[in-house]
Structure 1
Amino acid sequence: MPEARNGAIREAIERAIEYIWERYSEPVSLDELSKSALLSRFHFARTFREITGVTPGRFLSAVRIHQAKRLLTTTSRTITEISFAVGYQSLGSFTNYFTQSVGMPPSQFRHLVRGTALNPTLPKDEVQASHGTAAVTISFPSACPALRVYMGIFPSPILQSPPVAAKIIDAAGDHPLRCVLSGVPHGTWFVHAVAATRTTRPDRRTDPMLFVDRRDSVTVGARSPLRVSMRLRPSRPTDPPILFALPVLRSLPPPVRPQTGSDGIGSDAGSVGRPLKNSRHP
């Protein structure tokens, strides 16, 4: 049956991902990963990319930087020691890739998580002839608590390197919200959404309180704004780690029902996102 086969393939890819998390500090070959998944080398490489959105090599690199972030956060080991601990043989290569992925050098990231550096800021909107807009409609899981959602447009299926446009949306309740990201350069991009139900820096391997979604290879052009629909879901083992140093996402207090005046019209809560009218939920 197709569903059973798809489930078996996903389990095979998850075995390979578990192998990556266990052996990230060692040289890991495609042959080793395909054997851990019990798939042929060619079939494994193709299926891995279909399910995760990235190649096995890029997933491995993301895990290494992710674990470096964890070590910078939780230990006092030197940056050189950490670079070797996560599988790099060159401090220069590690520092360059970390900076490209996280948006800041390892030393600055360590200061950030210790509260001795400023929290990352959102990119400023730029109005230029070669830039367009992206209208994103985002839905939420049923009975989801109030969330603070980071929406960003990135050059990669892995949430890494600074975004070309981003916003933070306060979502109180389970109504879909629409936000517009302006100043997006014309081209092909990846739209990422991340939310947390409590104070979270996405620097752990898994977090059941983390919600994500992604839209791949979307095109922004001059003729019309990009329109994208997204639905947050709990993170999965097959989601690549989040590398970019996001602003801290604090969950919002429980939503308060708006007070109604004599005309029965509720007051505006003033959130960044706009609830869609006449929307329905399953």
Structure 2
Amino acid sequence: MDKVTVLAVERAVDTMHGALAEPLTVDDLARSALFSKFHFCRLFRRTTGLSPARYLSALRLEEAKRLLRATSLSVTDISHLVGYSSVGTFSTRFHHSVGVSPSSYRQGQVPPAEPGAVRGAPPVVTGRVIGPRAVEPVLVGLFRNPIMEGAPVRLTALDHIGPYTLDKVPPGTWHVLVHAGGGDQDVFVGEHGPIEVRAGITAHVADVVLRRRGKTDPPVLSALLDAPAPAAASQAS
């Protein structure tokens, strides 16, 4: 990705961060990026994997997660602070993307893994996570979209980078997303996909190269990724 494009998308993301409670439009964001709307939308999706509207929604929900953890504000107040006029719409979108309701998230609950019907020989997605060896924990999940939202179809936790295996994978189109580090460590992310998993094909190889998480990487929304690594792994087994 060329530097001009990255800087333009970063300007748009900065604009989003500075106005989460405001009714931002794609035109507003395109102006902040100094591009035409059509060109901006194409470059934004190519850089982040998401449309500007979807990315803005994810940022709002990420901030709502932070406020639920760090404050005693009501769900209604938080919904208004992140740009929702309807607490019902906010709660529905939060549940869809995080996997649990706002009140359940505040209580530390995590979503169950998505059930997946597997007939015949269960397909396996396997590969290696490549990156700084000292970073931990390493969470590898299969998601429907190129953003860590909702419950992953499959998830495994590693003590360090290296080989991983996701078994009993249901047929479908999935993205392999990796999140590593956090806390006092830098956060690293990586992705591979989309991949097509079909019944009768036993193994799909998907190596993932980690990079330090940047401003244009989509937020992590799934509550399952907020759980301790062993708990997260057990939820998705």
TM-score by length of 2: 0.88
Give the match for residue 138 of structure 1.
Answer: 129
The change in CA–CA distance for 1:146 and 1:71 in structure 2 (over 3 A counts) is: closer
Q: Tell me the CA shift for residue 154 of structure 1.
A: 0.6
Q: Tell me the CA shift for residue 249 of structure 1.
A: 4.8
Note if contact 1:130-1:186 (Cα within 8 Å) is conserved in structure 2. Answer: no
Instruction: Pick from 193, 196, 202 the counterpart of residue 181 of structure 2.
Output: 196
Distance in 1, matches of 2:9 and 2:215, equals 9
Give the match for residue 235 of structure 1.
Answer: 213
Task: State the secondary structure of the residue aligned to 1:158.
Answer: coil
Distance in 2, matches of 1:145 and 1:65, equals 30
The change in CA–CA distance for 1:108 and 1:197 in structure 2 (over 3 A counts) is: closer
Q: Tell me the CA shift for residue 129 of structure 1.
A: 2.9
**Partner amino acid for 1:183?**
K
Give the match for residue 158 of structure 1.
Answer: 147
Q: Tell me the CA shift for residue 124 of structure 1.
A: 8.0
Q: Tell me the CA shift for residue 232 of structure 1.
A: 1.5
Cα RMSD (Å):
2.1
Note if contact 2:171-2:196 (Cα within 8 Å) is conserved in structure 1. Answer: yes
Distance in 2, matches of 1:248 and 1:102, equals 12
Q: Tell me the CA shift for residue 51 of structure 1.
A: 0.3
Note if contact 1:30-1:56 (Cα within 8 Å) is conserved in structure 2. Answer: yes
Identity over aligned residues, as a percent?
Answer: 36
**Partner amino acid for 2:8?**
A
Distance in 2, matches of 1:71 and 1:197, equals 18
Following superposition of structure 1 onto structure 2, how do residues 1-282 of structure 1 map, counting pairs within 5 Å?
A: 6-112=2-108, 117=109, 128-129=119-120, 131-141=122-132, 144-171=133-160, 177-196=162-181, 198=183, 209-222=186-199, 223-245=201-223, 246-249=225-228
Structure 1 unpaired stretches of 5+: 200-207, 251-282
Q: 1:41-84: CA deviations, max 9, x gaps?
A: 11000000000000000000000100100111111110011111
Distance in 2, matches of 1:125 and 1:30, equals 36
Distance in 1, matches of 2:186 and 2:71, equals 24
Task: State the secondary structure of the residue aligned to 1:28.
Answer: coil
The change in CA–CA distance for 1:90 and 1:52 in structure 2 (over 3 A counts) is: same
The change in CA–CA distance for 1:24 and 1:92 in structure 2 (over 3 A counts) is: same
Distance in 2, matches of 1:216 and 1:53, equals 11
Structure 2 unpaired stretches of 5+: 230-237
Q: Tell me the CA shift for residue 133 of structure 1.
A: 1.4
Q: Tell me the CA shift for residue 182 of structure 1.
A: 1.0
Q: Tell me the CA shift for residue 130 of structure 1.
A: 8.0
Distance in 2, matches of 1:233 and 1:240, equals 13
Q: Tell me the CA shift for residue 131 of structure 1.
A: 4.7
TM-score by length of 1: 0.75
Task: State the secondary structure of the residue aligned to 1:24.
Answer: coil
**Partner amino acid for 1:71?**
L
Note if contact 1:123-1:166 (Cα within 8 Å) is conserved in structure 2. Answer: no
Task: State the secondary structure of the residue aligned to 2:165.
Answer: strand
Q: Is the radius of gyration larger for structure 1 or structure 2?
A: 1
The change in CA–CA distance for 1:48 and 1:153 in structure 2 (over 3 A counts) is: same
Note if contact 1:136-1:179 (Cα within 8 Å) is conserved in structure 2. Answer: yes
The answer to which of 226-235 and 44-53 deviates more is: 226-235
Q: 1:14-61: CA deviations, max 9, x gaps?
A: 100110111121111111101000001110000000000000000000
Aligned residues: 227
Q: Tell me the CA shift for residue 90 of structure 1.
A: 1.0
